[in-house]
Amino acid sequence: MNYPKEQHRVLQKFNTVNAATNRIRHMLKALYNPARSRFTAALVIVLLGVTSVSQIANARPAPESFADLAEKLLPSVVNISTSQMVAERQGPDFQFPPGSPFEDLFKDFMDRNGQGGQGQSQTPQQRRATALGSGFIISADGYIVTNNHVIDGADEITVRLHDGDTLPAKLIGRDPKTDVALLKVEPEEDLPFVNWGDSDHSRIGDWAMAIGNPFGLGGTVTAGIISARNRDINQGPYDDFIQTDASINRGNSGGPLFNLDGDVIGINSAIYSPSGGSVGIGFAIPSAIAQSVVDQLKEYGRTRRGWLGVHIQTVTDDIADSVGLDKSTGAMVAGVSDDGPAKAAGIKQGDVILSFDGKEVESMRRLPRIVAETKIGKDVDVVIWRDGEKKTVQVELGELEEDVVATSAEPGEEQAPVAIAEAEIKPLGMKIANVDDELRRRYNLAEGTEGVIVTEVNRDSYAAEKGVRPGDIIIEASHSSVSSVEEVSDAVKKAMDDDKRTILMLIETSAGPRYFGLTLNKED
């Protein structure tokens, strides 16, 4: 018998439910035992029913079409165009070296074509450059969210609505660290807008829909799934991107990523592409981060983030072993700001922060985001690992100054050897020496620098693999301060005698103090 498409689909669902009901009936017959009470049998029925209903309620089947959702959401997505004056390059893109036989010939050619330098102004010419991106409306009165990189450096920002109307936009605020910007237009009537969703409740495999302005084509809808979460793509200190295979291309930046409820769960910001086009790997800033940033930009015109005042590093397996942790978790404190909240609370160099304000710190990169999102001035419980046990300290959180810039380590260059008193620490694959005037000059150390300096590192050693370089200063070994070669040697010998696999060292590098869990080569 032939059925219309809709009737056929309903009949299929009915048959599925009927089959499930029959299976439950057979299960109950198998479980039935006259010796059991009727109450127990009824309880089994109720529990089975609850489980079945829960599974059906949580299941989100693939939509037959995104048309209704797209029709509803398209009017809230806008195209953003920007323009700015940039210096135009003068003269040719290449030059012949002075004295070349081609130099005069090329100069005559440029002069004949009006591109020579004789008699022309040396003032750089300027031209107006334009760029395109996407955005979405979050309020009827005209607040619009986009990416910071879409409007960065713009002199003029213009928003084109879905109906074709164009409006000048004012920049309310921007946050380069999360790549979020907030604009404002002044519409004559209320605009259609969208609501924020909760990206933390989105799961890998959920459907997602992107709308944007790829290649300047205007409102374009693509769909896919959430491919991954918590992606770190080295774009900033708070990276926590949603990865999706919904097609995202140039011009989609700043556009929304929706869930099936039509709520914004992300801001499309970047793609991975060797060719420059979509290869199914796009990244969106999750709404859990973006919404709080937008709220602050709207209220203050800038972001206000919590500040702890510590320099942190990853807890590697070797460091975890050195400090007695069962696994590599948390964030290790490599340095403490003298005027920061951490110092006032008693947090010390060498502590491992395991949780902050009741939130577990699974990895080093998790801590900056937790701290940044915590209310300034709040008294926060911080669980640390110190001397082989957990301790809790309370910190009154400060406010991060946005002009604070973190530095990264750059490998030091090895210097030509000179005659100095060195000691070879064979288990670590390095040579060390007490700092003297000659070493201060060689490594450009500050006047008065004292301690133990690394003068040579075996290329095949664990120390070289971890990033220890000549010129680094050893500050601590096994949690004890060291100021001489003998003290470092004694600490290494004691670790070997205690059958330790690694030794923990605090070393001053070009990027600041850092802890190293150095493996001891016992064959030496």
pLDDT of residue 1: 47
For 263, counting Cβ atoms within 10 Å of its Cβ (0-12 exposed, 13-18 middle, 19+ buried), the class is middle
> Taking CA 400 as the corner, what is the angle to CA 394 and CA 401, rounded to the nearest 5 degrees?
150
Q: Which of 294, 337, 95 is nearest to 196 (CA)?
A: 294
| Highest mean pLDDT, choosing among 208-212, 402-406, 413-417, 449-453 | 208-212
The lowest-confidence range among 50-54, 56-60, 245-249, 464-468 is 50-54
Number of continuous H segments (helices) and E segments (strands) in the chain: 12, 28
CA terminus-to-terminus distance, the chain: 84
Q: What is the average pLDDT across 222-234?
A: 89
Q: Of 76, 134, 202, 253, which is the active-site residue?
A: 253
pLDDT digit string, tens, across residues 456-490:
999 888 888 888 999 999 999 988 889 888 889 88
Q: Of 175, 179, 318, 472, which is the active-site residue?
A: 179
Q: How long is the chain?
A: 524
Q: Of 76, 81, 134, 149, which is the active-site residue?
A: 149
pLDDT of residue 149: 92
Q: What is the average pLDDT across 409-413?
A: 35
The lowest-confidence range among 123-127, 129-133, 141-145, 245-249 is 123-127
Q: Which of 524, 420, 386, 387 is nearest to 463 (CA)?
A: 524
Catalytic residue at 201?
no
pLDDT of residue 337: 86
Catalytic residue at 179?
yes
pLDDT of residue 132: 86
The lowest-confidence range among 123-132, 164-173, 338-347 is 123-132
361: pLDDT strictly greater than 60:
yes
DSSP E strands: which ranges in 15-125? 77-87
Q: Which of 284, 268, 285, 76 is nearest to 185 (CA)?
A: 76
* Helix, strand, coil share (%) of the chain residues, nearest 5: 25, 30, 45
109: pLDDT strictly greater than 60:
no
Max distance between CA atoms of the chain, in angstroms, equals 111
pLDDT of residue 172: 96
Spatial distance between the Cα atoms of 253 and 250, rounded to a whole number of angstroms? 7
Q: What is the average pLDDT across 422-431?
A: 88
The lowest-confidence range among 30-44, 104-118, 137-151, 426-440 is 30-44
Mean pLDDT of the chain: 80
119: pLDDT strictly greater than 70:
no
Place of tokens 């070997």: 496
Spatial distance between the Cα atoms of 362 and 372, rounded to a whole number of angstroms? 16
Q: What is the average pLDDT across 365-378?
A: 89
pLDDT of residue 341: 94
Catalytic residue at 134?
no
- Output the six-digit token pair for 382: 């911080």
Residue predicted with more confidence, 9 or 501: 501
pLDDT of residue 373: 86
195: pLDDT strictly greater than 70:
yes
Pairing of strands 282-286, 241-244: antiparallel
262: pLDDT strictly greater than 50:
yes
Confidence label for 3 from pLDDT (cuts 50, 70 and 90)? very low
